[in-house]
Amino acid sequence: MKYTCLLFACCVGSVAAQQTPTVWVPPPKDTTALEAEKNPLPVAVLRDYLKMDFPHHAYRALEGKNEALQQEADNSVVFEIGRGYEVGADAVNLFDAGFQDGEDFVFLAGITSVGAYGIRLQVDLAGLALGEEAWFIDPTVPRAFGPYTAADQEAAALWLPSVEGDTAVLMLRSRQSTLPPLRLERISHFFRPVFEKAFPCPIHVNCETDPDIRAASTAVGRLLITIPPATTILCSGSLVEAPDTPEQEPFLISANHCFRSIVSAGDLDVFWDYRAADCDGTGQPSLGELPRSEGESILVNDARLDFTFLRLKSVPNGTEGRAYLGWSVEQAEVNDEVLTMHHPQGTVMKISYGVVTDADVATIYGQLQNEINWLEGITEGGSSGGPGLYTDSLTLMGVLSNGTVHTCGEPQQNFDNYSSFADFFPEVACYLSADTECEPPLPKISCPAKATFGPDSASVAALRNFRDKVLAHHAWGRAAIADYYARAPQMAAAVAQSEQARAVFGVLAFPFIVWGAGLG
**Contacting residues for 364 by C-beta, under 8 A, at least 6 apart:** 77, 402, 467, 472, 478, 481, 482, 485
Lowest model confidence (mean pLDDT) among 68-77, 80-89, 403-412, 474-483: 474-483
Q: Are 190 and 167 in contact (CB under 8 A)?
A: no
CATH 2.60.120: which residues of the chain? 35-190
**Model confidence at 14: pLDDT above 60:** no
Q: Which residue has the higher pLDDT, 390 or 435?
A: 390
CATH 2.40.10.120: which residues of the chain? 4-28+195-432
376-401 residue pLDDT tens: 999 999 999 999 999 999 999 999 99
CA–CA–CA angle 276, 277, 278 (5° rounding): 90
Which of 397, 366, 396, 402 has its CA nearest to residue 381? 402
Can you name the CATH fold of 35-190? Answer: Jelly Rolls (2.60.120)
- State the pLDDT at residue 37: 83
The count of other CB atoms within 10 Å of the CB of residue 372 is: 29
Phi, psi at 508, each rounded to 5°: -65, -35
Q: Which residue has the higher pLDDT, 455 or 476?
A: 476
d(C-alpha 147, C-alpha 379), whole Å? 37
d(C-alpha 194, C-alpha 284), whole Å? 12
pLDDT band at 84 (very low <50, low <70, confident <90, very high): very high
Q: Which residue has the higher pLDDT, 391 or 442?
A: 391
447-473 residue pLDDT tens: 788 888 887 788 888 888 888 788 877
| The model's pTM | 0.85
Can you name the CATH fold of 4-28+195-432? Answer: Thrombin, subunit H (2.40.10)
- State the pLDDT at residue 7: 42
**Contacting residues for 268 by C-beta, under 8 A, at least 6 apart:** 223, 224, 225, 259, 262, 294, 295, 310
- State the pLDDT at residue 17: 47
